[in-house]
Amino acid sequence: MNEVQRAKIVLKILNKTYPKTPIPLKHKNIFTLLISVLLSAQCTDVNVNNVTSSIYPKYNKPEHFVKLGRKKIENLIRSIGIFRIKAKSIYNLSKTLVEKYKGKVPKTFEELEELPGVGHKTASVVMSQGFGYPAFPIDTHIHRLAQRWGLTNGKNVVQTEEDLKRLFPKKYWNKLHLQIIYYGREYCKARECYGISCKICTSCYPKRKKPIITRKA
């Protein structure tokens, strides 16, 4: 079985398992989606949603966070990992949006990736989930799963993104990104499946007996 055949199996199982894919990070607008994605680094979506549920009703525009200042932002997100670094990024990002973009989130990868604290993965999520632009955000979880499923040889997230974009038609990218995340959380967990027990792993590699060691991103 080659990677193209495995990709077809993956797509078929994911479409059947997750016909609908709600965005896991709760938000009020594209700006708050951007903030939530930034907060989700090294943190669960559940924790981010818990924290932002009391923030976004009051503060949901760049102007609000500029007015708050770094210290108050820190206090609001204190229960989230590396909160000081994230508070600094949120403040500087909000300031840039107000000064350069009249408070609007820009609609290109280049402009998004120039914002403080925003890398390619965060920009990809905003482009995909916020603006509906075809993108394939790759985090460490998707990188791990793509290796297990034989869709990439896993040297780094950049290569994994290229491989998945090559294997799957563009029209599926946005939904597929979320489907893979949901499937990984429910069925192909890092310390449970090991590439030998979930439906996708056993379908792609029916003869695999030994746990697969995946390369870190």
Range of the domain at 187: 3-21+136-204
**125 with 111, same domain?**
yes
Catalytic residue among 139, 175, 199, 207: 139
CA-nearest of 32, 36, 56 to 46 is 36
CA-nearest of 108, 101, 55, 103 to 77 is 55
* Statement: residue 214 has pLDDT above 80: no
Indicate whether 212 belongs to any domain.
no
Indicate whether 213 belongs to any domain.
no
* Statement: residue 217 has pLDDT above 70: no
* Statement: residue 164 has pLDDT above 80: yes
Per the annotation, the verdict on 139 as an active-site residue is yes
**Per-residue pLDDT tens over the stretch 108-138:** 999 999 999 999 999 999 999 999 999 999 9
| % of the chain with per-residue pLDDT over 90 | 89
pLDDT at 42: 85
**Per-residue pLDDT tens over the stretch 6-21:** 999 999 999 999 999 9
**73 with 140, same domain?**
no
Q: How far apart are CA 147 and CA 195, in angstroms?
A: 9
Instruction: Count structural domains, the chain.
Output: 2
Mean pLDDT computed over 163-180: 97
* Statement: residue 64 has pLDDT above 80: yes
pLDDT at 170: 96
**125 with 142, same domain?**
no
Q: How far apart are CA 123 and CA 100, in angstroms?
A: 17
* Statement: residue 198 has pLDDT above 70: yes
CATH of the domain at 126: 1.10.340.30
**Per-residue pLDDT tens over the stretch 24-56:** 999 999 999 999 999 998 889 999 999 999 999
Catalytic residue among 61, 95, 121, 170: 121
Q: How far apart are CA 176 and CA 3, in angstroms?
A: 16
> What residues contact 98, with CB distance under 8 A and at least 6 apart?
62, 63, 66
Q: How far apart are CA 26 and CA 66, in angstroms?
A: 21
Mean pLDDT computed over 151-165: 92
Indicate whether 209 belongs to any domain.
no
pLDDT at 81: 86
Domain boundary among 130, 165, 186: 130
Q: How far apart are CA 206 and CA 43, in angstroms?
A: 34
Structure token digits, residue 211 = 């746990």
Contact criterion met (CB below 8 Å) for 193 and 148 = yes
User: How is 135-178 classified by DSSP, letter by letter?
Assistant: -----HHHHHHHHHTTS---S-HHHHHHHHHHHS-GGGHHHHHH
Per the annotation, the verdict on 16 as an active-site residue is no
pTM: 0.91
Give residue 156's region: left, alpha or beta (phi > 0; psi -120 to 50): beta
